[in-house]
Amino acid sequence: MKRTIAAAMAAICMLTAAGCSRSESMGECTVEETEAQEQTGAAAGETEAQEQTDAEAANGLSLTFTTEERDWYNEDKTRWLLHGEYTSVRIGGEGYEAAAEKIGAWSEADEENFWKAADESSSDGEQVSLWDEEGGTDYYACSMYQTLESARADRQVISLVAMSSSYLGGAHGSYGYTGYTFDASTGELLDIEDLMTDAETFRQTATEAIVQKLQETYGDGLFEDYADTVAQIWSRDGGPKWYLNETGIVFLFDPYEVGPYAMGAAQVTLPYADYRADLAEQYTSPESAGEGFGKISAGTATVVTAGDDAKLSVYLEAEDEYGGGPLTVELGDQKLAGERFDRLTDVYLIRTADGRAYALTTADYASEDYVTNVFDVTEGRLLQTDSLSNAAISDTGVGNTELLSLRVSLNVLGSYTSRMDYQLNEEGKMVRQSELYQIDMVNGQYRKITTAREIPVTVDGEPGTLAAGTEICITATDNDGTAVYEDTATGETGEIHYTKGDGDNAWTLYIDGVSEYDCFDELPYAG
């Protein structure tokens, strides 16, 4: 019987993840602790969230994100105290050397501060008891995360948005968003004042617009004094929280800032086009920046596409009170309406070096049943060129104009989330770059499975077996009969060959004719 881990962990904090060991490749799940880690009870792990080679990066701007995981235990390792994850970024591409150096230094310093805070907070896990002690060490008591996502990257700016979350005891965790925008030429971190040519006018008109848009979006959910809070963002320490995307300037408000926790984090996008007279063109005209990519604010998105004056909008044309409806793309007077989805999760505009422009969308039927679509919007035309089921834009967003890393949902021996690189070719098709999907080792602790019987395998092309009681993790699969595994004790790798059932057993895999549920003690819940 599968363990419903995802639902249980959602009760702990806003995001779910568990430790995997230190590794240079995404699929590795070997446990290796240094002497210092054994003394503190911490174990570290690293996964490539998006992989680009140096040669690929040299062709143009690229953002590579790496997620490191660490875990803290008590002295006798009987309790898992805290789990931490941090996503760092590396900049690549010819002409972006200064930005690569300064943004790299910023990311390293921020990461050092994060792990220092996590180490200091690990002691909170001694006092927090979320699970019955008889449940063993399967669950961590506390957690800290910082994820990072691309919002816009081109010759003008590199803008990132970080989401920090933690659970250190109490009724629920806490979370919030922070934007970081850098000059793409110099790598300097920009202040919002750097964007303004007429600061006084912009602050006044922006304040009024933010107040109005918050009211339109959140209505009675806002605190009574929310307008006063908005007016004060310019004078508080650090100023407003913001970042740039393809559409405009996005202003961020954490839970409890303008509304209760239940309302969540609020954000408002002010389109560049509405404030041309008050903003510096060198940072706020992505349509003239040439090659690059940027996130579009879903639902209210209006951007000017490269090469013409046609405006692009992407949204769900609501059919019910919950906002679900057909995925709709408008470009000038053209309109395409496709399948109905419950929500639109991500939209990016990608501009390639040779002048092509594509809108890349991810929408969800329901319960993480994703579809990613590609629309060619070059020079005023509107044409859907590709569609991939069970695929979503990576958690870190787009990192390259042509090589795209997508998150793909699978169900192979309990492994649910995988990643695959796709090349966006000249026809707007997503061309798979590998035979194997790399299993996402976030939640790696829960992706370890133990054989319940002897299982036939292939090691270095030769037939072999895994003895009953062997702990392994699945690291890759072709999703068509072959799963790559690693023995967590020895590090030995090999292949497990399986077949898919049919009829009432269509969702069950079989190894040498034996059901997967009889081959392993337990299989993780796959979604």
Q: In the numeric block, which tokens belong to residue 151? A: 């919002």
The pLDDT, as a whole number, for residue 232 is: 96
Interior/surface letters 201-234, b for 16+ CB within 10 angstroms, e for the rest: ebbebbbebbbebbeeebeeebeeebbebbbebb
The candidate with the shortest Cα–Cα distance to 247, out of 359, 149, 341, is 359
Phi/psi of residue 10, each to 5°? -65, -25
User: What average pLDDT does this structure show over 242-267?
Assistant: 95
User: What average pLDDT does this structure show over 196-219?
Assistant: 95
Confidence at 298, pLDDT banded by 50, 70, 90? low
Q: In the numeric block, which tokens belong to residue 180? A: 């970081």
Confidence at 164, pLDDT banded by 50, 70, 90? very high
User: What average pLDDT does this structure show over 374-384?
Assistant: 92
Distances (CA, A) of 147 to 16, 162, 204, 408: 12, 6, 32, 19
User: What average pLDDT does this structure show over 489-501?
Assistant: 95
The pLDDT, as a whole number, for residue 6 is: 34
Q: What is the amino acid identity at position 389?
A: S
Confidence at 234, pLDDT banded by 50, 70, 90? very high
The pLDDT, as a whole number, for residue 51 is: 41
User: What average pLDDT does this structure show over 165-175?
Assistant: 88
The pLDDT, as a whole number, for residue 444 is: 62
Highest mean pLDDT among 69-83, 119-133, 348-362: 348-362
The pLDDT, as a whole number, for residue 138 is: 58
What is the Cα Rg of the chain in Å? 24
Confidence at 273, pLDDT banded by 50, 70, 90? confident
Residue 475 has pLDDT above 50, yes or no: yes
pLDDT in tens, 310-367: 788 898 888 777 778 999 999 988 999 999 999 999 999 999 999 899 999 999 998 7
The candidate with the shortest Cα–Cα distance to 184, out of 312, 285, 51, 54, is 285
Q: Where are the beta strands (DSSP E) in 118-210?
A: 142-154, 157-167, 174-183
The pLDDT, as a whole number, for residue 35 is: 35
User: What average pLDDT does this structure show over 394-404?
Assistant: 91
The pLDDT, as a whole number, for residue 443 is: 54
Q: What is the reported pTM? A: 0.84
Residues 6+ apart with CB under 8 A from 111: 68, 86, 88
The pLDDT, as a whole number, for residue 191 is: 96
Stretch among 6-10, 40-44, 228-232, 379-383 having the lowest mean pLDDT: 6-10
Q: In the numeric block, which tokens belong to residue 397? A: 């967003």
